[in-house]
Amino acid sequence: MTDARHLAEFNIGRIKYPLDDPRMREFVDNVDRINKLADNLPGFVWRLQGESGHAMHMRVYDDPAILPNLTVWENVEALERFVFKTVHSRFFDRRETWFAQPDPTLVMWWVPAGHRPTLEEGVARLDHLKANGPSDFAFGWERLPAAHMDKTARETRASEQVA
């Protein structure tokens, strides 16, 4: 049985180099692989993508160096499993290789099951989090109960996201 609500997650990253720069190759070459992994995991619902099959060419904040990612998951456990318990975690742990981090880079919120948030909705939620701090409207890992991760490890990773 599925809950009446799902977890939306929007994150951004400012790339350090153009996507065709050799220093970005490992990241760019694995985007489709990681997206396919997510697409096939239990609890994955949806992700924003263009004709390319990803969102790397979609623009936010009128800045081509900021890459957006917008996904919907059945629950926090499914998102947490993907982020921290799959090969995705290897890329997550190395994100500073490819990205300079604005503060914060991630926002989550609950949506009715079946809702597909827009890029503009994700930006508005992130802006709200930046301006007002965590709330029911826009929050980060700190507002969710730990599911599959050791609480200390999760808090460490959450603090790194806003460092």
CATH, residue 69: 3.30.70.100
Range of the domain at 39: 5-161
Of 50 and 12, more confident: 12
Q: Tell me the residue type at 104.
A: P
How far is the CA of 48 from the CAs of 80, 97, 122, 133, in angstroms?
18, 24, 11, 25
pLDDT above 80: residue 116: yes
Provide the pLDDT for residue 155.
Answer: 53
**Span 103-129, average pLDDT:** 95
The whole-number pLDDT of residue 12 equals 95
Which residue type does 62 have?
A: D
Convert the pLDDT of each residue in 71-109 to its tens digit: 999 999 999 999 999 889 888 889 999 999 767 799 999
Nearest residue to 141 (alpha-carbon basis) of 74, 84, 100, 60:
84
pLDDT-derived band at 146 (thresholds 50, 70, 90) equals low
pTM of this structure: 0.84
- What total number of domains does the chain contain? 1
Residue 68 Cα to chain centre, angstroms: 8
Specify the range with the lowest mean pLDDT, choosing from 8-12, 45-49, 97-101, 108-112. Answer: 97-101
Closest by CA to 68, choosing from 20, 21, 8, 141, is: 8
> How much is the pLDDT for 150?
46
Alpha-carbon distances of 14 from 52, 86, 156, rounded to whole Å: 20, 23, 21
